[in-house]
Amino acid sequence: MPQALLRSPGSTILAAAARLRQRNLLDRLLNWYIDSVRSHFALHGLRAIKSPDIPGIMSDPISIGNSVRRVLSTLCDALHHYMFPISFLYAENSNKEDMLARIRFRHSLNAMIDIALSDHEFQLMAHLLVEHQLAACGRNEEQQIVDREEDEPKRLAFLTGIRQQIDILGVQDRMERIVADVYHTFIPRYVSRQYARIWEQEERQESLMVELKDLIYGPISRCIATLIRRDELLEARLFELATESLVKLGIKEAFDMVIYFPDSIPALEYLKMCLRTQEHRAQLVTAFQNACHARLLHCGANTSDIISFYMSTIKVFRLLEPRGVLLDKVSRPIRRYLRDREDTVKCIVYGMLEVEDANTGDLSELGKELAAASGAQNADAVDDNDYFNMNWVPDPVDAAPDFRNKRSSDFIGSLLSLYDNKEVFVKEIVVVLANRLLELKNYEIDREMMHLELLKLLFGESDLHNSDVMVKDILESKRVDSNIHDPTTVAPGTYPVAGIVHASMLSRLFWPAFRDEDLVLPPVIEEQLNRYSAKFSILKSARKLTWLKRLGTVDVTLELEDRTLDFTVSPDRASMIYLFQDKPTYTLNELMARLNLDEAMTRRALGFWIKNDVLKEDETCKDKYILLERAEERKKKMLLDDAAESSVQTAEEKATEEMRIYWSYVNGMLTNIPALPIDRIQSFLKMLIPKEVGYSRSVDELRDFLTVMVAEEKLEFVSGSYRLKK
Amino acid sequence: MDSQNTAPAAFSSHKMQDAPAAMIDSHSVTKRLQSELMQLMMSNVPGISAFPISDSNLCQWTGTISGPEGTYYEGLTYKISMTFPPNYPYHAPVIRFVSPMWHPNVDMSGNICLDILKEKWSAVYNVQTILLSLQSLLGEPNNASPLNAQAADLWDGNPAEYKKLMMTHYKDIDEINDQ
């Protein structure tokens, strides 16, 4: 309805209006008019706004912008149209009643416009329009500033148009609300899109702030100020919002920064600068803990990975906050989880002793740390009882009640404090050390001695006393062995021992328990061992060697028809392959009988030779094995990589033994008391198992154990209680 | 009474009531019972079992005994209660059948007539030996001094009637646990 079509009323109409005014009936006319305007608007105006030819919210930014403008201009036209008669009825700048009447009419119009603009689709379009405008100010995905110089005036002109319509319609408030809504979501999103995972370059962190400031004080502020009333605090508020978003981004990315440490140091420095409020600290802790639970502390992660992540966490949070309060908080779930893992101790000990093992992963960093840490003991410890320390500050208010300023920058100390006593580590160290010493071929124990000395600094002399004896045994063995091989000492009537046989004499009481199964060695070797024993008895009168035939290593050279292979293997494997020298096929049972091995060991040894393509299982006959004189086409065999097998009773086996004891208690308990909840079982075990055996499992460990028993159908779990399965 | 049944701390009644002595005693009793439990749990003899009924008081146990093979009681399981005196093992524990028990040497309220629990008690006995004695008592009653004369009469006289009467009194252990 173009304005030109509106015609001024004729004189009769004006006279009629004047008459009504005299009789005070003008109000009724106005009421009638408002009613007709309402029904007219509802009939025609709303339809014009919602007409189907308006492109939907899914279209491109330009058509959305045009649609918004079109809706607004339709409303503007309607407003003009409806206001027109009023200007004749009530002159401007007239008396008070006329003013009030005009205002009344305007109010009812405003209400109609408001209803029209509340339309959901229009709201969305307006939001999108503003968002597109803001997005046009920043960088897009290609990291280019979209807003070229010549574009900006065009966009601003467009916005000015909208601004004018808004002013006419008197809906600035509504627009302000939309704009505020948009920038509150837009800026965090923009920041996290543009600056996510940028941690490395130091300058980047600096320039980032400058860039953001330029953007906010420049194009964005111009754009917003065109659209709504200007507010002096606008830029400051926007900038605050942006920095806040950056901190939030840093908090969200803390987990990744730990993974990429030390490459992420610049970003961490920046995060440290921004972490000022308690709220941020709390957010950081929660976000980090959640990320840990979701991404790290589950059974899919290797223990060694968790440990090395923990070490990075220590470094990162020490950097963020040297006091260690945050570290204390974030590391609690990790520590709790590590405590529950079975192979944690093993991984740590392997790491410290720099043992390479496929299952425990590479934690040799720990070994280096061990060497480094021993030099600088307690260098940075803060003693709270040092009353002369003028730089003392209290712990931050968010410190946990049981927070202790541990020297948590030292990983070894943190890892050792995972468990209440160091006993578990000492046990494992002795086992690992024993294995290592037994694997030695030339009595070279320098490396082990160095490790042992370092470990002594950590655990104290007394706990590792046994290991001292072990090392000394090897040293002594070296001497005795060279004596035995000395040709000048051959007694008349005896044969010299072949140079290939070397033995270690172990003081049984000081070594961990050995598996005491026997093994049948090839007669040639037995003969050599007997000579060795005889010579030993001469050297050390009244002492006799007891051979542990399962221990040690054998260098084997296999000369087959088409190839020669060298291996270093355990005695049982060597003895097995020696048997094949006489006859090319054996059955499993024959092998077990000839070697005096149990089935599991035999199969494992067979697996080794099969994997190395020396033996194969007969395809026609199960459990029959053939020597491969000629190498066959290598088949893809999915044989499990056999874990380095320990000849010493491992800590794990000890745990199994303990569990056997606990099971007989649980069994006895439930035989006599029909059903018990887990808490009662736990307190029974705690109370009733004598101290010498000891019960130190947590409820969770017990629950795991009972769950296994339920799975084995020994127990059943009924309404919160465990009972024996009948 | 054997000399080994005398407590080393001069065994007289007024001294036993001294508070400090009682405390020391209760500690050593706990220890003794703990190790007896360990022994019992580890030996794992089929057909007998016992366990403290609460973790706070080790002097009150409950046990189960299965009837030995080839006796009237084969395949049946009985629940017993064991109460250890504060001066255990110098005094015998009090043992009662909780399950209704029809047997020449057991009365209707579960009291047992067994010499090693009375005048022939010795400190070398322990929970496991008591349980084994009770189990063998089921197969070899002492019919000379019966608490249940009818049972003693029928034991040799009328096995079918014995079995019938015994079964009318028997209650399954689950029923007893549910009570």
Q: pLDDT tens-digit profile of B33-91? A: 888 888 888 887 888 999 998 888 888 999 999 988 888 888 889 999 999 998 888 88
- Work out the average pLDDT over B148-164: 86
The per-residue pLDDT of chain B, averaged, comes to 81
3-state secondary structure of A33: helix
Say whether pLDDT at A7 is over 90: no
Give the per-residue pLDDT at A114.
85
Q: Which of A670, A672, A683, A723 to mutate to test the interface with B (most CBs of B within 10 A)?
A: A672
Q: In angstroms, what CA-CA distances link A639 with A110, A621, A643, A718? A: 81, 19, 12, 41
Q: pLDDT tens-digit profile of A437-449? A: 887 777 888 888 8
Residue A243 CB partners (closer than 8 Å, separation 6+) = A209, A212, A274
- Work out the average pLDDT over A679-703: 82
Q: Tell me, which fold does domain A651-724 have in CATH?
A: Arc Repressor Mutant, subunit A (1.10.10)
Q: Write the secondary structure of A79-100 as one string of H (helix), E (strand) and C (coil).
A: HHHHHHHHHHHCCCCCCHHHHH
Structure tokens at A424: 């578990």
Kindly indicate the confidence band of residue A340, based on its pLDDT and cuts at 50, 70 and 90: confident
Give the per-residue pLDDT at A373.
60
- Work out the average pLDDT over A401-412: 60
Give the per-residue pLDDT at B96.
92
CB atoms within 10 A of CB B136: 12
Q: How far is A600 from chain B (nearest CA, A)?
A: 27
Q: What are phi and psi of B141, to 5 degrees?
A: -75, 160
Say whether pLDDT at B8 is over 70: no
- Work out the average pLDDT over A288-305: 85
What gap in Å lies between CA A160 and CA A154, rounded to an integer?
10
Which residues in chain B are closer than 8 Å to A668, comparing Cβ atoms?
37, 40-41, 49-51
- Work out the average pLDDT over A80-98: 77
**Are A554-627 and A651-724 the same fold in CATH?**
yes
What gap in Å lies between CA A247 and CA A245, rounded to an integer?
5
The per-residue pLDDT of chain A, averaged, comes to 78
Say whether pLDDT at A636 is over 50: no
Give the nearest partner residue to A672 out of B34, B42, B64, using CB atoms. B64
Q: Which of B42, B55, B59, B82 to mutate to test the interface with A (most CBs of A within 10 A)?
A: B55
Give the nearest partner residue to B177 out of A674, A680, A684, using CB atoms. A674
Say whether pLDDT at B131 is over 70: yes
What gap in Å lies between CA B2 and CA B13, rounded to an integer?
18
- Work out the average pLDDT over A70-99: 80
Residue A408 CB partners (closer than 8 Å, separation 6+) = A314, A318, A324, A327, A328, A331, A414
The CATH number of the structural domain formed by A554-627 is 1.10.10.10
Active site residue B59: no
- Work out the average pLDDT over A148-162: 77
Give the per-residue pLDDT at B95.
93
- Work out the average pLDDT over A348-362: 69
Which residues in chain B are closer than 8 Å to A661, comparing Cβ atoms?
41-42
B 48-77 residues with CB below 8 A of A? 49-53, 55-56, 58, 61-64
- Work out the average pLDDT over A3-20: 75
Kindly indicate the confidence band of residue A150, based on its pLDDT and cuts at 50, 70 and 90: low
Structure tokens at A509: 């009481």
Q: What are phi and psi of A695, to 5 degrees?
A: -130, 115
Give the per-residue pLDDT at B62.
92
Give the per-residue pLDDT at A641.
45
Which residues in chain B are closer than 8 Å to A690, comparing Cβ atoms?
34-35, 38
Give the per-residue pLDDT at A465.
79
Q: In angstroms, what CA-CA distances link B84 with A395, B33, B52, B60, B92? A: 54, 9, 11, 6, 7
Give the per-residue pLDDT at A5.
64
How far does CA A180 lie from the centroid of its chain? 36
Q: How far is A715 from chain B (nearest CA, A)?
A: 16
How far does CA A396 lie from the centroid of its chain? 26
Please give the residue of chain B at the shortest CA–CA distance from A674.
B177
Put simply, the answer to whether A668 touches B55 (Cβ < 8 Å) is no
- Work out the average pLDDT over A510-531: 80
Lowest-confidence pick of A284-288, A563-567, A651-655: A651-655
Put simply, the answer to whether A690 touches B51 (Cβ < 8 Å) is no
Give the per-residue pLDDT at A403.
64
Q: pLDDT tens-digit profile of A607-628? A: 888 888 888 877 777 778 888 8
Structure tokens at A55: 């492109």
Lowest-confidence pick of A174-183, A215-224, A365-374, A416-425: A365-374
Angle at A447 between CA A648 and CA A413, to 5 degrees: 80
Give the per-residue pLDDT at A483.
83
Look at A423 and A590; give whichever has higher pLDDT: A590
Give the per-residue pLDDT at A363.
67
Q: pLDDT tens-digit profile of B22-33? A: 444 567 788 888
ipTM, two decimals, is 0.81
**A475-483: long-range contacts at Cβ-Cβ below 8 A with a sequence spacing of 24 or more?**
A475/A443, A475/A445, A476/A505, A477/A443, A477/A503, A477/A504, A477/A505, A478/A443, A480/A505, A480/A536, A480/A539, A480/A540, A481/A443, A483/A539
Give the nearest partner residue to B51 out of A661, A673, A689, using CB atoms. A673
Give the per-residue pLDDT at B94.
93
Per-domain boundaries in chain A:
1-118, 124-252, 257-420, 432-539, 554-627, 651-724
Q: Chain A to chain B, count of Cβ pairs less than 8 Å apart?
A: 50
Put simply, the answer to whether A687 touches B50 (Cβ < 8 Å) is no
Give the per-residue pLDDT at B18.
42
Q: pLDDT tens-digit profile of A544-582? A: 788 888 888 888 888 888 788 888 888 888 888 888 888
Of the ranges A31-35, A129-133, A272-276, A646-650, the best mean pLDDT one: A31-35
Say whether pLDDT at A210 is over 90: no
**Where are any strands of DSSP class E within B8-99?**
48-52, 60-66, 77-83, 94-97
Kindly indicate the confidence band of residue B19, based on its pLDDT and cuts at 50, 70 and 90: very low
Angle, helix A120-137 to helix A151-169, in steps of 10 degrees: 150
Give the per-residue pLDDT at A632.
66
- Work out the average pLDDT over B139-168: 86
Sheet holding A615-617, edge to edge: A585-587, A624-627, A615-617
From the list B113, B131, B137, B152, the catalytic residue is B113
Put simply, the answer to whether B49 touches A661 (Cβ < 8 Å) is no
Lowest-confidence pick of A388-392, A475-479, A630-634, A647-651: A647-651
Look at A135 and A357; give whichever has higher pLDDT: A135
What gap in Å lies between CA A187 and CA A191, rounded to an integer?
6
Say whether pLDDT at A726 is over 50: yes
